[in-house]
Amino acid sequence: MRMGTHAKIWRGFGALVLSSLMAMGAWAADTFTIKDIRIEGLQSVDPGSVFGSLPFRTGDSYSPEQGTAAIRSLFGLGLFQDVNVAIENDVIVINVIERPRLQSVSFEGLKEFDKDVVLKMLKDVGVASDLTFDKALVERAEREIKRQYLNRSLYAVEVVTTITPVAKNRVNLHFQVLEGGVAKIKELRIIGAKAFSEATLRDQLSLDTGTWLSWYTKSDRYSQAKLNGDLEALRSYYLTRGFLEFRVDSTQVAIAPSKDAVSITINLTEGIRYTVTGVELSGNYLGREDAFAAKVSVRPGQPYNVDDVTETTQKFQEYFGDFGYAFSRIDAEPVIDRENKSVKLVFRANPQQRVYVRRIEIAGNQLTRDEVIRREFRQMEAAWYDGNLIRESRNRVDRLGFFKAVGIEHKEVPGSPDQIDLVLSVEEKPTGNLSLGAGYSQSDKLSITAGIAQDNVFGTGNSLAFNLDTSKFNRGFSLSTTDPYFTQSGLSRSYDLSYRTTRPYDAQDGDYLLNTVGASVRLGVPFTANDTVFFGLGIEATKITTGSQLPNAYQEFVDNYGSPATGLPLTVGWSKDTRDSFLAPSVGRYQRANSVLSLAGDARYVTVGYQFQQYWPITKKYTFAFNTAVNAGTGIGGRSLPVFKYLQGGGLGSVRGFQQGTLGGTTCLRDSSGAFVDASGNCINGSSRVGGTASAVANFELSAPFPGAGSDRTLRMFGFVDAGTVYCKDTPTISCGSNALRATSGFGVSWISPVGPLRLAWSSPIASQPTDLLQRFQFQIGTSF
C-alpha cells in the first residue's frame, strides 16, 4: 500500500484515547482489590514488558486514576496502536493491538550509495528490521535518503516507498530510488574582486566547473560543506595578503529547473590592504620580553598576514607552557590607521596561573597496553606542566607507528585552578604488515620480496618480523624480534637470524653458490630523549660451494680462509630522531651512524655508515625531504674486504629506478684463467653485481596531497630526484665497471594502507650506463627512504 496523509490516523488515535479515558469513569465508581490481571492481544511483545509498565499488581487496591496511568504508560512504550482496560469481576483485562514490526527493508535503484551504508543510516532514524513500524518514521527515512543524495548534487532524486503487510503482524518496507542525473557546477562567479583576478581566486577553491580529474575529485559537484570551506579559503587568502577587513557579503546558489546544473555566485568586499608598521608586546611576559620578541613572526614593512599573527600567538602560548602556564591568554589587537593604510599589532599576554599535571589519562587504545604508551611520556604526573615535554611525549607516541592519530587534550580540574589533567587520545591502526615488493626488468623479469611483520605483538610494543627474498640472484630469509623496553629504563634488545643464498647473474656463467647464515643480539641504550646508542654481537658463517667457473675472488678466499668462513662482528651504532611522525613525517630530523667490526674468525673487516634525513614543511600541505647515506668498508689484519661483504645499492630506499642491489658498475669476477671480459666487453662470468667497497646516495623529494585527499597525510603524491653510486676498485680478481654517478627522477604515490605504508614509484634515468639494470616501475610496503 502507498503512503498517504496521516491526519486521519492522528484524529483516530486522539478519539481512541479520549474514548478510553471516558470509559474509565464507567469502569468503577469505587476502588476494589485486584484479583488477577489478564493481557490479551499480544503477539510478539514480551508480557513482562507490559506487566513491568503497569502501576498496579495483583492484590493492590485499584482506582480509576490507576487505569488512566496504565493506558498512558503502555502507549508510552511505543509498541501498541490501541490499549484499553476493562474490569471483569475484580479482574483487570488489558486489551492491546500491537504495532506491526518491520520484517525487511529493501531497495531498488540504489547506485550512488552502498546498501549497507543506507541501512545503517535508516537504523539511526529508527527504521530497521525487527523494529516497531511507524509511518511517521518512514517519512523521516525518505527525507534522510533524499538529504544524502542532495549532498552529492543529485537534486532530481525521487523516493517512492511501498509498505506490504505480511503474516504475524509484520510489514515489508521497500524503497524505490530514482536517482536522476548529477547536477554539476556550470558557472562559478566571484563578484567584487579588484586586487586579484577572478581566475586566481577560483584556483583557491575546491569547487570548480570541472577539470580532467573531476571524475575522481567530484570538484564539480556542489555541497554546502564544500562551499563553506571554500569561503574560508578565500578569507584566508585575503587575510594573508594584507586585507585585514575582507568579508564575504553573500553567496547565491541557483539550481536549473532541469536540476542538472548549478550556478554559484560569491559577492565579496576586499577592503584596504594594510602594511604592518610595528609590533608591541603588552602585559606580563614573565620578565622575558626579549625571548618572546625573538619568537615574533610578524615583520614590520610587510603586508598584514593572519598566518604570521596566528603563528606568533601559538609560539607565545607554547613558550608560556614551557614554564608551566598551560592556560595563557594571548590577544592580538590590530591598531588600524586607515588614512595611511597601516596597522600596528599589539600582543597582550596574560599567563594566568601556573599549573601542574594532576593525572594523565589514555583513551582510544583497544589493543595497545597503557604501559606501552605511558613509558613514552616525558611529562610526569604530579609535576609542573611543561609544554616542551608534552610535545615531545606526543611525538614519541606518534613515532611508535601504532596509531593513525595522536592528540592531547587539556582538562581543567574543577575547584583546582592550579591543576590540570591531560588526556592522550589515540586511534589505533593495524600493526600487522604483509609486505610485498616487486620490480620488472627485461633481464630479471619479475622479482619479488615478501614478508610478514607485527610491530605491536599482543599490544606489548614488541616487534616480530619475517622477510623472504625470491630474487633470481639473491634468495633468503630473515627473522627478527625487538623488545624496545627490555628494562624499565628503556634499554632495548633485539635478536636477528638470517640465511641468504647468492648465485651468478647468468646460469651459463657457473653454478657455484654462496650461503650465508648469521645470528646476532643487539642492545639499545637511550642516552637522551632522542639519542640511542646500539651495541651488538653476532656470529656469521659464509659457505662457498664451488662449482663450474668459480671466480678467482671466491676461490682465493676459500684457499686462504677455508669454507665456511666464520666471523664475529661487533656492532656499534647511534641514532637520533626528532621527526614528528614515523610513518608520514612533515618536520624534523633523523640521523643514524653505525659501524661493524669483525676482529675474530676467518672474515675480518670493518664497515662504517652514516645516514641523514631532514624534513621541511614548505606549507601546511607541501613537505620537502632530503636524505643522504654514505657507507664504506675495508678488510683488516692485512686482509681485503670479503667480496660477499661488498656494499650494494639501487631500488626503493636507495636510488629508485635501478634494480635492487645493482647500483654502480658491472663488477666482473675473473674466471680460473684470469679473464673477465669477452671480445665484446661483456663479463665472462656474467654481469655479477657484487657491489663495491663504498657507496653514496642522495634523495630529494617533494610531497603534496593527492588530488581529492585534502589535508589527509595518509595519501600523498611525490616527485623525486635520486643520485648515487657504489664505488669499486679493480683487484687481481675483480674488474670494476664505471663508478660514475647514477641519477634518476620520477614521481610516485605513498599511501598508509591497512597493511602498512605503500609506496609506488615511476622512474626515468638522468645519468646511467648501458650495462645498468633499470626498473621503471617499483613498489614496496615500507617507510620512505
CA–CA separation, 40 and 92 (whole Å): 11
C-alpha cell, 392: 615531545
C-alpha cell, 681: 666487453
> Which of the residue ranges 241-250, 542-551, 581-590 has the most confident prediction, judged by mean pLDDT?
241-250
Burial class, 334, CB count within 10 angstroms (exposed 0-12 / middle 13-18 / buried 19+) = middle
User: What is the per-residue pLDDT for 321?
Assistant: 94
CA–CA separation, 429 and 752 (whole Å): 10
User: What is the per-residue pLDDT for 755?
Assistant: 63
Using the Cα atoms of residue 281, residue 287, residue 290 and residue 294 in order, give the sign of their dihedral.
negative
Contact 657, 763 (CB under 8 A): yes
Burial class, 60, CB count within 10 angstroms (exposed 0-12 / middle 13-18 / buried 19+) = middle
- Nearest 5°: CA angle at 211, between 210 and 213? 115
CA–CA separation, 509 and 644 (whole Å): 18
Contact 548, 570 (CB under 8 A): no
Helix, strand or coil, per DSSP, at residue 750: strand
CA–CA separation, 220 and 184 (whole Å): 5
CA–CA separation, 57 and 106 (whole Å): 43
Q: Is pLDDT at 512 greater than 50 in this prediction?
A: yes
Mean of pLDDT over the chain = 84
CA–CA separation, 272 and 92 (whole Å): 81
Minimal CA–CA distance to 728: which of 668, 684, 769, 674?
A: 668
C-alpha cell, 616: 621541511
Pairing between β-strand 694-705 and β-strand 623-635 as defined by DSSP bridges: antiparallel
- What are φ and ψ of residue 688, in 5° steps? -75, 110
User: What is the per-residue pLDDT for 335?
Assistant: 95
User: What is the per-residue pLDDT for 679?
Assistant: 46
Contact partners, residue 165, CB within 8 Å, separation at least 6: 1, 100, 171
User: What is the per-residue pLDDT for 447?
Assistant: 60
Alpha-helical runs (H) found in 28-58: 47-53
Q: Is pLDDT at 705 greater than 90 in this prediction?
A: no
CA–CA separation, 585 and 578 (whole Å): 10
C-alpha cell, 198: 577572478
Q: Is pLDDT at 572 greater than 90 in this prediction?
A: yes
Q: Is pLDDT at 506 greater than 60 in this prediction?
A: no
Helix (H) or strand (E) holding 436: strand 432-441
C-alpha cell, 86: 476493562
Lowest-confidence segment of 389-398, 423-432, 588-597 by average pLDDT: 423-432
> Which of the residue ranges 53-67, 180-194, 721-735 has the most confident prediction, judged by mean pLDDT?
180-194
Q: Is pLDDT at 117 greater than 70 in this prediction?
A: yes
Contact 123, 137 (CB under 8 A): no
Minimal CA–CA distance to 504: which of 688, 639, 345?
A: 688
DSSP, res 400:
T
Q: What percent of the chain has pLDDT over 70?
A: 86
Alpha-helical runs (H) found in 6-103: 7-27, 47-53, 64-76
Burial class, 679, CB count within 10 angstroms (exposed 0-12 / middle 13-18 / buried 19+) = exposed
User: What is the per-residue pLDDT for 131?
Assistant: 80
Alpha-helical runs (H) found in 304-461: 306-322, 370-374, 387-399
- What are φ and ψ of residue 120, in 5° steps? -65, -40
* Cα–Cα distances in angstroms (integers) from residue 22 to residues 18, 90, 374, 488, in the given order: 6, 19, 67, 77
User: What is the per-residue pLDDT for 736?
Assistant: 75
If you count them, how many residues does the chain have? 785
Helix (H) or strand (E) holding 135: helix 135-150
pLDDT digits (tens, 9 = 90+) for 456-499: 999 999 999 888 877 666 778 899 999 999 988 889 999 999 99
Residue position matching grid coordinates 570548480:
208
Pairing between β-strand 356-363 and β-strand 416-428 as defined by DSSP bridges: parallel
Higher local confidence (pLDDT), 163 or 689? 163
**For residue 3, what pLDDT band results from cuts at 50, 70 and 90?**
very low
Lowest-confidence segment of 43-52, 116-125, 159-168, 750-759 by average pLDDT: 750-759
pLDDT digits (tens, 9 = 90+) for 144-181: 898 888 888 888 888 999 888 888 788 899 999 998 88
pLDDT digits (tens, 9 = 90+) for 251-296: 999 998 888 899 999 999 999 999 999 999 999 999 999 999 999 9
User: What is the per-residue pLDDT for 248?
Assistant: 96
User: What is the per-residue pLDDT for 448?
Assistant: 66
User: What is the per-residue pLDDT for 47?
Assistant: 84
Contact partners, residue 581, CB within 8 Å, separation at least 6: 395, 398, 399, 713
DSSP strands (E only) in 618-738? 623-635, 668-669, 694-705, 715-727, 734-735
Encode 241-270: b = buried (16+ Cβ within 10 Å), e = exposed: bbbbbbebeeeeeeeeeebbbbbbebebeb
The torsion of the CA quartet 724, 726, 727, 733, rounded to 10 degrees, works out to: -160
pLDDT digits (tens, 9 = 90+) for 319-354: 999 999 999 999 999 999 999 999 999 999 999 999
Higher local confidence (pLDDT), 272 or 547? 272
C-alpha cell, 64: 480509576
CA–CA separation, 359 and 357 (whole Å): 6
CA–CA separation, 48 and 595 (whole Å): 76
- Cβ atoms within 10 Å of 180's Cβ, excluding its own: 15
Higher local confidence (pLDDT), 136 or 687? 136
DSSP, res 242:
T
Higher local confidence (pLDDT), 547 or 611? 611
User: What is the per-residue pLDDT for 397?
Assistant: 93
Contact 64, 27 (CB under 8 A): yes
Please confirm whether the linkage preceding 564 is cis (ω < 30° from 0). yes
Contact 494, 481 (CB under 8 A): yes
Amino acid at 230: D
pLDDT digits (tens, 9 = 90+) for 602-661: 888 999 999 999 999 988 788 999 999 999 999 888 888 887 788 888 887 889 998 877
User: What is the per-residue pLDDT for 43?
Assistant: 76
User: What is the per-residue pLDDT for 30?
Assistant: 59
Residue position matching grid coordinates 595611511:
340
**For residue 784, what pLDDT band results from cuts at 50, 70 and 90?**
low
Minimal CA–CA distance to 68: which of 32, 26, 97?
A: 26
CA–CA separation, 390 and 379 (whole Å): 6
- What are φ and ψ of residue 186, in 5° steps? -100, -25
Helix, strand or coil, per DSSP, at residue 15: helix
CA–CA separation, 331 and 346 (whole Å): 8
